[in-house]
Amino acid sequence: QVQLEESGGGLVKPGGSLRLSCAASGSIVSINAMGWYRQAPGKPRELAAAITTGGRTNYADSVKGRFTISNDGAKNTVYLQMRSLKPEDTAVYYCNLDAWGNQGRYDYWGQGTQVTVSS
| pLDDT band per the 50, 70, 90 thresholds, residue 1 | confident
| pLDDT band per the 50, 70, 90 thresholds, residue 74 | confident
Which 8-state DSSP code applies to residue 42? T
Q: pLDDT by residue (tens digit) across 90-100? A: 999 999 999 99
- Counting Cα atoms < 13 Å in the Cβ hemisphere of 118 gives 7
Looking at residue 63, its amino acid is V
Out of 41-50, 71-80, 84-93, pick the least confident.
71-80
Cβ proximity of 70 and 103 under 8 Å: no
Cβ proximity of 118 and 27 under 8 Å: no
Q: pLDDT by residue (tens digit) across 5-55? A: 999 999 999 999 999 999 999 988 999 999 999 999 999 999 999 999 999
The predicted pLDDT at position 101 comes to 84
Find all residues with CB under 8 Å of 52, minimum gap 6, and list them. 32, 33
Q: What is the mean pLDDT of residues 102-110?
A: 91
